[in-house]
Amino acid sequence: MRSDRVALSLVAPALAVALALAVSTLVLIVSGNSPEEVFGLLGEQLTRVGELTKTVNRAGPYYISAVAVAVGFKMNLFNIGVEGQYRLAGVVAAGAGVALPLPGPLRLLGVIALAVGVGAGWAGIAGALRAYRGVSEVISTIMLNAIAFGLTPFLLTRYFQEEAASGTIDFATRTAALPGGGRLPSLDALVPGGLPSGVHLNAFVILAGLVGVGYWVLVWRSRFGFDLRASGANPHAARTSGVDAKRMTVFAMLISGGVAGLVGLSSIIGAAPYRYTDESFLAGLGFTGIAIALLGRNNPVGIAFGALLWAFMDIARTPMSRADLPREITTIMQGITVLSVVVAYQVVSRIARRRDAAAIARQVDDDPEGGTSEPSGGAARVGSPA
């Protein structure tokens, strides 16, 4: 039965991939593009160290963003506010991180702590509103996003902007660069065969890995995670079992926001320019994280595959346009993949349920006395039960 379960859990992704490929091919044919050409290009990209490294670099923030969303999903909380949480956390961590009076690597920890703190705090507002005032976290995080989008440039220009060197006129809005101690070490040496010039392996991927392990331990192995999942699966039963729903809501949002705070650190502690600038700081990662969390079914390994796939398709845009193919193809294929995964898992879980029911029925059939094998010593309904 357990091996059955493992087999079933492999069937679903296989089905999803097959479905995604089939629908994508169909869309390519209908839109007048050559599937061979597109898939050929993608296949070629798989063999290039440079493109693969870029994929991994891009997947790191995606992964963390998706984990942030997934933490909420595990408790039926929809944190749409990852976008605002990581932008705000990014600017504060970069701006205040420079000013931290900490030596060497401690500064790195300080920057990370700042990002986590700001993200958690911002999401915590939505958590508290939900727990104690009944405000839907969907609404409040959307509103908090809007506030964060305004607050971020305000903080940047007002408090964190790098002082222009005297005599020069510089309109660029950016923080000062983090000193060396606040940066992650380079991993370029680890890539076999070396990297093409201009490409670096961002050590941020290690942070993403740690977040993934932490997420797995917290949700699937800890007592807290049990309460979290129970609250998500059946809030009434969780409450009856002694879980404090309000407290769990606040904690889940704090954790989700704390993880979200890390998303923007990729270009602050992991790669050039090691500072916050409007140009280098990627926007939209929070919303992409929602799609990737769906793609990965909130599972730490699934999300990793989802993040890599998504990043791979992103990177494929440049070769596509170079080959005179519409670059939107990649976006369409990303969408098709998410839908395929949703459909495939639904189908497989139905099959699994049916098999469960059949297994139980078989067991009942094996026992012809059907329902009477209890060690009963009581009375029938006939008389009174005493």
Partner 1 sequence: MAISRCRPPPSPEPVALAATPAVELRRITKRFPGVVANREVELTVAPGTIHALVGENGAGKSTLMKILYGMQRPDEGTIAVNGNEVSLRRPTDSIGVGIGMVHQHFMLADNLTVLENIVLGAEPRFPVLLARRRARDHIVELGRTYGLSVDPDALVEELGVGERQRVEILKVLYRGARIIILDEPTAVLVPREVDDLFRNLRELRREGLTVVFISHKLDEVLAVADTITVMRAGTTVATVDPAQVTARDLANLMVGHELPSPETRTSTVTDTVELSVRGVRVAGAGSRPALDGIDLDVRRGEIVGVAGVEGNGQSELIAAVMGLADVIDGEVHLGDVDITSWSTRHRRQEGMACVPEDRQRDGLLLDAPLWENAALGQQTEAPFANGLFFDRIGARRRTDEIVESFGVRTPNSDVRAGALSGGNQQKLLMGRELTAEPRMLVAAHPTRGVDVGAQAAIWDQLRQARADGLAVLLVSADLDELIGLSDTLVVLFGGRMVARLDPATTSLEDLGCYMTGTDPAGGGDLDVDAASAAAADVAPGADPVAPTAAERR
CB closer to partner 1, 237 vs 272: 237
Smallest gap from residue 227 Cβ to partner 1 (A): 7
Smallest gap from residue 263 Cβ to partner 1 (A): 27
Smallest gap from residue 127 Cβ to partner 1 (A): 19
CB closer to partner 1, 322 vs 354: 354
CB closer to partner 1, 133 vs 223: 223
CB closer to partner 1, 279 vs 367: 367
Smallest gap from residue 55 Cβ to partner 1 (A): 34
CB closer to partner 1, 167 vs 385: 385
Q: How many CB atoms sit inside 10 A of residue 100's CB?
A: 20
Smallest gap from residue 297 Cβ to partner 1 (A): 14
Q: Which DSSP state fits 277?
A: B
Enumerate residues 6+ apart whose C-beta is below 8 A from 35: 24, 25, 28, 29
CB closer to partner 1, 229 vs 327: 229
Beta bridge partners of 174: 277
Question: 268 to each of 149, 178, 265, 351, how far by Cα in Å?
Answer: 19, 7, 5, 46
Smallest gap from residue 256 Cβ to partner 1 (A): 20
How many alpha carbons lie under 13 Å from residue 379 in its C-beta half-sphere?
A: 6
Catalog residues that contact partner 1 under the rule CB under 8 A: 1-2, 5, 221-227, 229-230, 233-234, 236-244, 353-354, 356-364, 367, 369-386
What CA–CA distance (Å, rounded) separates 260 from 121? 11
CB closer to partner 1, 254 vs 309: 254
Smallest gap from residue 64 Cβ to partner 1 (A): 23
Report residue 324: phi and psi, to 5°: 65, 25
In terms of C-beta distances under 8 Å and separation of at least 24 residues, what long-range contacts does 38-45 make, across chains too?
Answer: 38/320, 38/325, 38/329, 41/316, 41/319, 41/320, 41/323, 41/325, 42/312, 42/316, 44/319, 45/312, 45/315, 45/316, 45/319
Residue with tokens 């009477």: 372
